[in-house]
Amino acid sequence: MNKKEIIDILKAENTEGVLIKADTIRRKYCGNIVHLRALIEFSNFCKKQCVYCGINSKIKNVIRYRLSENEIIETAKKASELGFKTVVLQSGEDDFFGTKKMCSIIEKIKELNVALTLSLGEKTKEEYKAYKNSGADRYLLRIETTDEKLYKKMHPNADFKNRIKCLYNLKELGYETGSGILIGLPEQTVDSIADDILFFKKLNADMIGLGPLITHKETLLKNYPCGSFELALKALAITRILMPNINIPATTAMETLLKEGRKIALKSGANVVMPNITPEIAKENYSIYPNKQGINALDKIELENLKNEIISIGDTISNDYGTSKNFIAQKHL
Ligand code: SF4
Protein backbone atom coordinates (compact mmCIF):
# COMPACT_ATOMS: atom_id res chain seq x y z
CA MET A 1 0.00 0.00 0.00
CA ASN A 2 1.48 3.35 -0.96
CA LYS A 3 0.69 6.70 0.63
CA LYS A 4 -2.04 7.54 -1.88
CA GLU A 5 -3.77 4.21 -1.28
CA ILE A 6 -3.60 4.73 2.49
CA ILE A 7 -5.12 8.22 2.12
CA ASP A 8 -7.89 6.86 -0.12
CA ILE A 9 -8.88 4.32 2.54
CA LEU A 10 -8.70 6.90 5.34
CA LYS A 11 -11.03 9.13 3.32
CA ALA A 12 -13.40 6.38 2.17
CA GLU A 13 -16.86 6.05 3.67
CA ASN A 14 -17.43 2.33 3.24
CA THR A 15 -14.37 0.47 4.47
CA GLU A 16 -15.96 -2.73 5.70
CA GLY A 17 -13.82 -4.74 3.27
CA VAL A 18 -10.64 -3.23 4.71
CA LEU A 19 -11.71 -4.05 8.29
CA ILE A 20 -12.49 -7.65 7.29
CA LYS A 21 -9.13 -7.94 5.52
CA ALA A 22 -7.32 -6.62 8.61
CA ASP A 23 -9.14 -9.19 10.75
CA THR A 24 -8.23 -12.01 8.36
CA ILE A 25 -4.58 -10.94 8.35
CA ARG A 26 -4.44 -10.69 12.14
CA ARG A 27 -5.86 -14.21 12.47
CA LYS A 28 -3.49 -15.59 9.82
CA TYR A 29 -0.29 -14.07 11.26
CA CYS A 30 -1.04 -13.70 15.00
CA GLY A 31 -3.64 -16.43 15.46
CA ASN A 32 -7.07 -16.44 17.08
CA ILE A 33 -5.45 -15.28 20.28
CA VAL A 34 -5.70 -12.13 22.37
CA HIS A 35 -2.93 -11.14 24.76
CA LEU A 36 -3.82 -9.51 28.08
CA ARG A 37 -1.38 -7.06 29.71
CA ALA A 38 -1.76 -5.83 33.28
CA LEU A 39 -1.34 -2.07 33.34
CA ILE A 40 0.00 -0.33 36.46
CA GLU A 41 -0.12 3.47 36.35
CA PHE A 42 2.32 4.10 39.16
CA SER A 43 2.80 7.88 39.07
CA ASN A 44 0.82 10.74 37.57
CA PHE A 45 3.55 13.31 38.15
CA CYS A 46 4.83 14.59 34.81
CA LYS A 47 7.21 17.33 33.80
CA LYS A 48 5.84 17.53 30.26
CA GLN A 49 3.08 19.83 28.98
CA CYS A 50 1.35 17.86 26.22
CA VAL A 51 -1.63 20.11 25.54
CA TYR A 52 -4.20 17.28 25.28
CA CYS A 53 -3.21 15.58 28.53
CA GLY A 54 -5.17 15.87 31.77
CA ILE A 55 -2.11 15.21 33.94
CA ASN A 56 0.37 17.52 32.22
CA SER A 57 2.47 19.63 34.57
CA LYS A 58 0.33 22.74 34.03
CA ILE A 59 -2.88 21.10 35.28
CA LYS A 60 -3.53 22.18 38.84
CA ASN A 61 -6.84 20.44 39.39
CA VAL A 62 -5.47 16.92 39.79
CA ILE A 63 -4.38 14.97 42.85
CA ARG A 64 -0.84 13.82 42.19
CA TYR A 65 0.23 10.40 43.45
CA ARG A 66 3.15 8.03 43.36
CA LEU A 67 2.90 4.38 44.34
CA SER A 68 5.74 3.28 46.59
CA GLU A 69 8.23 0.73 45.32
CA ASN A 70 6.57 -1.84 47.56
CA GLU A 71 3.07 -0.98 46.26
CA ILE A 72 4.24 -1.32 42.66
CA ILE A 73 5.77 -4.74 43.30
CA GLU A 74 2.78 -5.96 45.31
CA THR A 75 0.45 -4.86 42.47
CA ALA A 76 2.64 -6.68 39.95
CA LYS A 77 2.47 -9.78 42.16
CA LYS A 78 -1.32 -9.58 42.09
CA ALA A 79 -1.19 -9.39 38.29
CA SER A 80 0.97 -12.49 38.15
CA GLU A 81 -1.36 -14.34 40.56
CA LEU A 82 -4.31 -13.40 38.34
CA GLY A 83 -2.51 -15.13 35.46
CA PHE A 84 -1.14 -12.12 33.57
CA LYS A 85 2.07 -12.90 31.68
CA THR A 86 2.91 -9.26 31.00
CA VAL A 87 3.05 -6.29 33.36
CA VAL A 88 3.09 -2.76 31.92
CA LEU A 89 4.55 -0.02 34.13
CA GLN A 90 3.33 3.38 33.03
CA SER A 91 3.88 6.86 34.46
CA GLY A 92 4.22 10.49 33.50
CA GLU A 93 7.78 11.69 32.99
CA ASP A 94 8.61 11.66 36.67
CA ASP A 95 12.24 12.17 37.67
CA PHE A 96 11.46 11.00 41.20
CA PHE A 97 11.92 7.47 39.86
CA GLY A 98 15.62 7.76 39.02
CA THR A 99 17.53 5.03 37.21
CA LYS A 100 18.59 3.19 40.37
CA LYS A 101 15.06 3.13 41.77
CA MET A 102 13.56 2.00 38.44
CA CYS A 103 16.17 -0.72 37.97
CA SER A 104 15.47 -2.08 41.44
CA ILE A 105 11.72 -2.21 40.67
CA ILE A 106 12.36 -3.87 37.29
CA GLU A 107 14.59 -6.55 38.84
CA LYS A 108 12.00 -7.39 41.48
CA ILE A 109 9.15 -7.59 38.97
CA LYS A 110 11.20 -9.83 36.69
CA GLU A 111 11.50 -12.32 39.56
CA LEU A 112 7.75 -12.89 39.06
CA ASN A 113 8.45 -14.56 35.72
CA VAL A 114 6.46 -12.05 33.65
CA ALA A 115 7.39 -10.02 30.59
CA LEU A 116 7.82 -6.37 31.50
CA THR A 117 6.84 -3.39 29.39
CA LEU A 118 7.85 0.13 30.37
CA SER A 119 6.11 3.33 29.34
CA LEU A 120 8.00 6.10 31.12
CA GLY A 121 8.54 8.60 28.33
CA GLU A 122 11.77 10.02 26.94
CA LYS A 123 14.96 8.93 28.70
CA THR A 124 18.63 8.94 27.76
CA LYS A 125 20.07 5.96 25.91
CA GLU A 126 22.04 5.09 29.06
CA GLU A 127 18.85 4.97 31.10
CA TYR A 128 17.10 2.77 28.53
CA LYS A 129 20.18 0.54 28.57
CA ALA A 130 20.16 0.28 32.37
CA TYR A 131 16.46 -0.73 32.36
CA LYS A 132 17.17 -3.32 29.67
CA ASN A 133 20.11 -4.74 31.63
CA SER A 134 17.81 -5.01 34.65
CA GLY A 135 15.42 -7.16 32.64
CA ALA A 136 12.89 -4.84 30.94
CA ASP A 137 11.64 -6.47 27.73
CA ARG A 138 9.51 -3.88 25.99
CA TYR A 139 9.09 -0.13 25.78
CA LEU A 140 6.14 1.96 24.61
CA LEU A 141 6.77 5.49 23.36
CA ARG A 142 4.09 6.95 21.15
CA ILE A 143 5.27 9.45 18.56
CA GLU A 144 1.69 10.90 18.69
CA THR A 145 2.17 12.52 15.26
CA THR A 146 5.03 12.58 12.76
CA ASP A 147 3.98 16.03 11.53
CA GLU A 148 6.80 18.02 13.14
CA LYS A 149 4.93 21.33 13.07
CA LEU A 150 1.86 19.79 14.70
CA TYR A 151 4.03 17.90 17.17
CA LYS A 152 5.58 21.18 18.32
CA LYS A 153 2.16 22.78 18.78
CA MET A 154 0.89 19.86 20.83
CA HIS A 155 4.07 19.43 22.87
CA PRO A 156 5.45 22.76 24.10
CA ASN A 157 9.11 22.60 25.14
CA ALA A 158 9.47 19.11 23.68
CA ASP A 159 11.97 18.07 21.04
CA PHE A 160 10.49 16.12 18.13
CA LYS A 161 13.87 14.93 16.92
CA ASN A 162 14.75 13.61 20.35
CA ARG A 163 11.55 11.60 20.45
CA ILE A 164 12.42 9.97 17.13
CA LYS A 165 15.94 9.36 18.42
CA CYS A 166 14.54 7.69 21.56
CA LEU A 167 12.54 5.27 19.40
CA TYR A 168 15.59 4.30 17.36
CA ASN A 169 17.66 3.97 20.55
CA LEU A 170 15.08 1.55 21.93
CA LYS A 171 15.19 -0.53 18.75
CA GLU A 172 18.98 -0.52 18.79
CA LEU A 173 19.08 -1.66 22.41
CA GLY A 174 16.97 -4.69 21.54
CA TYR A 175 13.68 -3.65 23.09
CA GLU A 176 10.45 -4.91 21.66
CA THR A 177 9.48 -1.38 20.70
CA GLY A 178 6.03 0.12 20.63
CA SER A 179 4.83 3.45 19.31
CA GLY A 180 1.57 4.97 18.18
CA ILE A 181 -0.44 8.08 17.50
CA LEU A 182 -3.41 10.11 18.56
CA ILE A 183 -6.15 10.46 15.98
CA GLY A 184 -8.04 13.75 15.93
CA LEU A 185 -5.41 16.27 16.99
CA PRO A 186 -6.27 19.83 15.89
CA GLU A 187 -5.11 20.47 12.32
CA GLN A 188 -4.15 16.82 11.82
CA THR A 189 -4.81 15.67 8.24
CA VAL A 190 -5.31 12.24 6.69
CA ASP A 191 -2.14 12.99 4.77
CA SER A 192 -0.21 13.21 8.03
CA ILE A 193 -1.89 10.07 9.43
CA ALA A 194 -0.72 8.24 6.29
CA ASP A 195 2.81 9.50 6.99
CA ASP A 196 2.48 8.25 10.58
CA ILE A 197 1.55 4.76 9.40
CA LEU A 198 4.46 4.70 6.96
CA PHE A 199 6.72 5.81 9.80
CA PHE A 200 5.64 2.79 11.89
CA LYS A 201 6.73 0.60 9.00
CA LYS A 202 10.04 2.44 8.57
CA LEU A 203 10.78 2.13 12.30
CA ASN A 204 9.87 -1.55 12.08
CA ALA A 205 7.86 -1.15 15.27
CA ASP A 206 6.81 -4.29 17.13
CA MET A 207 3.66 -2.82 18.68
CA ILE A 208 1.43 0.07 17.63
CA GLY A 209 -1.29 1.77 19.64
CA LEU A 210 -3.74 4.08 17.91
CA GLY A 211 -6.25 5.97 19.96
CA PRO A 212 -8.77 8.70 19.20
CA LEU A 213 -8.20 11.98 21.01
CA ILE A 214 -10.62 12.43 23.90
CA THR A 215 -10.61 16.00 25.05
CA HIS A 216 -10.15 16.80 28.72
CA LYS A 217 -11.98 19.71 30.33
CA GLU A 218 -8.89 20.91 32.22
CA THR A 219 -6.74 21.22 29.10
CA LEU A 220 -6.33 23.83 26.37
CA LEU A 221 -8.23 21.51 24.01
CA LYS A 222 -11.34 21.53 26.22
CA ASN A 223 -13.56 23.03 23.52
CA TYR A 224 -12.16 20.88 20.78
CA PRO A 225 -14.11 17.85 19.44
CA CYS A 226 -12.97 14.31 20.18
CA GLY A 227 -11.24 12.31 17.47
CA SER A 228 -13.24 10.08 15.15
CA PHE A 229 -13.64 6.46 16.17
CA GLU A 230 -14.12 5.42 12.53
CA LEU A 231 -10.92 7.16 11.43
CA ALA A 232 -8.95 5.55 14.27
CA LEU A 233 -10.38 2.16 13.30
CA LYS A 234 -9.42 2.63 9.66
CA ALA A 235 -5.87 3.65 10.69
CA LEU A 236 -5.68 0.55 12.90
CA ALA A 237 -6.84 -1.75 10.09
CA ILE A 238 -4.37 -0.25 7.60
CA THR A 239 -1.55 -0.63 10.12
CA ARG A 240 -2.45 -4.31 10.56
CA ILE A 241 -2.52 -4.89 6.79
CA LEU A 242 0.88 -3.22 6.36
CA MET A 243 2.44 -4.85 9.43
CA PRO A 244 0.82 -8.30 9.72
CA ASN A 245 2.80 -9.71 12.63
CA ILE A 246 3.01 -6.83 15.11
CA ASN A 247 0.94 -6.48 18.29
CA ILE A 248 -1.85 -3.90 18.23
CA PRO A 249 -3.93 -3.10 21.32
CA ALA A 250 -7.61 -2.34 21.26
CA THR A 251 -7.05 0.90 23.14
CA THR A 252 -9.05 2.06 26.14
CA ALA A 253 -9.75 5.32 24.27
CA MET A 254 -11.68 3.34 21.64
CA GLU A 255 -13.90 1.76 24.28
CA THR A 256 -14.34 5.15 25.95
CA LEU A 257 -15.47 6.80 22.72
CA LEU A 258 -17.83 4.04 21.58
CA LYS A 259 -19.64 1.30 23.49
CA GLU A 260 -18.19 -2.02 22.28
CA GLY A 261 -15.30 -0.06 20.72
CA ARG A 262 -12.83 -2.60 22.10
CA LYS A 263 -14.70 -5.50 20.55
CA ILE A 264 -14.91 -3.72 17.19
CA ALA A 265 -11.16 -3.02 17.30
CA LEU A 266 -10.45 -6.69 18.10
CA LYS A 267 -12.46 -7.63 15.01
CA SER A 268 -10.54 -5.15 12.84
CA GLY A 269 -6.91 -6.11 13.42
CA ALA A 270 -6.19 -5.58 17.13
CA ASN A 271 -4.93 -8.51 19.23
CA VAL A 272 -4.06 -7.05 22.66
CA VAL A 273 -6.08 -5.68 25.61
CA MET A 274 -4.55 -3.93 28.60
CA PRO A 275 -6.75 -4.28 31.69
CA ASN A 276 -5.90 -1.82 34.43
CA ILE A 277 -4.59 -3.18 37.69
CA THR A 278 -3.67 0.14 39.32
CA PRO A 279 -5.06 0.38 42.88
CA GLU A 280 -8.40 2.21 42.69
CA ILE A 281 -7.44 5.30 44.66
CA ALA A 282 -4.52 6.04 42.36
CA LYS A 283 -6.25 5.09 39.13
CA GLU A 284 -8.94 7.77 39.54
CA ASN A 285 -6.25 10.41 39.24
CA TYR A 286 -4.46 9.01 36.19
CA SER A 287 -6.74 11.01 34.00
CA ILE A 288 -4.92 11.66 30.73
CA TYR A 289 -8.43 11.94 29.30
CA PRO A 290 -11.84 11.76 31.08
CA ASN A 291 -14.23 8.82 31.66
CA LYS A 292 -11.68 6.13 30.84
CA GLN A 293 -13.55 2.86 30.24
CA GLY A 294 -10.73 0.38 30.82
CA ILE A 295 -11.22 -2.99 32.45
CA ASN A 296 -10.50 -3.08 36.16
CA ALA A 297 -8.50 -6.29 36.42
CA LEU A 298 -8.87 -6.29 40.20
CA ASP A 299 -12.60 -6.82 39.75
CA LYS A 300 -13.04 -10.54 39.08
CA ILE A 301 -16.40 -10.05 37.35
CA GLU A 302 -15.04 -7.37 35.00
CA LEU A 303 -12.07 -9.56 34.13
CA GLU A 304 -14.30 -12.57 33.53
CA ASN A 305 -16.64 -10.48 31.34
CA LEU A 306 -13.65 -9.34 29.29
CA LYS A 307 -12.52 -12.93 28.77
CA ASN A 308 -16.04 -13.93 27.72
CA GLU A 309 -16.18 -11.01 25.30
CA ILE A 310 -12.92 -12.19 23.72
CA ILE A 311 -14.17 -15.78 23.48
CA SER A 312 -17.42 -14.54 21.91
CA ILE A 313 -15.54 -13.21 18.87
CA GLY A 314 -13.80 -16.52 18.26
CA ASP A 315 -10.56 -15.87 20.13
CA THR A 316 -8.83 -17.54 23.05
CA ILE A 317 -6.83 -15.86 25.80
CA SER A 318 -3.10 -16.24 25.36
CA ASN A 319 -1.23 -18.07 28.09
CA ASP A 320 2.26 -17.09 26.94
CA TYR A 321 4.23 -13.84 27.11
CA GLY A 322 2.69 -12.61 23.88
CA THR A 323 5.94 -11.44 22.34
CA SER A 324 5.36 -9.67 19.05
CA LYS A 325 5.89 -12.07 16.14
CA ASN A 326 7.62 -9.21 14.34
CA PHE A 327 10.17 -9.06 17.15
CA ILE A 328 10.69 -12.84 17.14
CA ALA A 329 11.27 -12.76 13.37
CA GLN A 330 14.00 -10.13 13.73
CA LYS A 331 15.75 -12.14 16.42
CA HIS A 332 15.86 -15.09 14.05
CA LEU A 333 17.31 -13.11 11.19
S1 SF4 B 1 0.92 12.60 27.64
FE2 SF4 B 1 2.44 11.61 28.96
S3 SF4 B 1 4.29 12.88 28.74
FE4 SF4 B 1 2.56 14.11 27.99
S5 SF4 B 1 1.94 15.31 29.76
FE6 SF4 B 1 0.66 13.45 29.74
S7 SF4 B 1 1.73 11.99 31.03
FE8 SF4 B 1 3.16 13.62 30.53
Domain borders along the chain are: 3-331
Q: Which residues contact 330 (CB under 8 A, 6 or more apart)?
A: 204
Q: What is the mean pLDDT of residues 41-51?
A: 96
In which band, very low, low, confident or very high, does the pLDDT at 138 lie, cut at 50, 70 and 90?
A: very high
pTM (two decimals): 0.95
Ligand 1 centroid vs 54 CA: distance in angstroms? Answer: 8
In which band, very low, low, confident or very high, does the pLDDT at 331 lie, cut at 50, 70 and 90?
A: confident
Alpha carbon of 174 to those of 18, 71, 170: distances in Å?
32, 29, 7
Atom of ligand 1 nearest to the CA of 57: 5
76-108: pLDDT as tens digits: 999 999 999 999 999 999 999 999 999 999 999
Nearest CA to ligand 1 atom 4: 50
- The residue ranges of DSSP E strands in the chain, in sequence order, are 33-36, 38-43, 86-91, 115-119, 138-140, 176-183, 207-212, 272-273, 316-317
Please tell me the CATH code under which domain 3-331 is placed.
3.20.20.70
DSSP H helices, 97-210, are 99-110, 125-134, 148-154, 160-172, 190-203
Find, among 2, 30, 33, the residue nearest to 238 by Cα: 2
* pLDDT of 29: 97
110-128: pLDDT as tens digits: 999 999 999 999 999 999 9
Atom of ligand 1 nearest to the CA of 46: 8
Among 49, 50, 151, which is best to mutate for testing ligand 1, by the most ligand atoms less than 8 A from CB? 50
Q: Give the count of beta carbons closer than 10 Å to the beta carbon of residue 130.
A: 17
**Residue 198: pLDDT above 90?**
yes
233-286: pLDDT as tens digits: 999 999 999 999 999 999 888 988 898 999 999 999 999 999 999 887 666 666
The pocket around ligand 1, CB under 6 angstroms, is made up of 46, 48, 50, 53, 55-56, 92-93, 121, 288
Alpha carbon of 178 to those of 181, 226, 242: distances in Å?
11, 24, 16
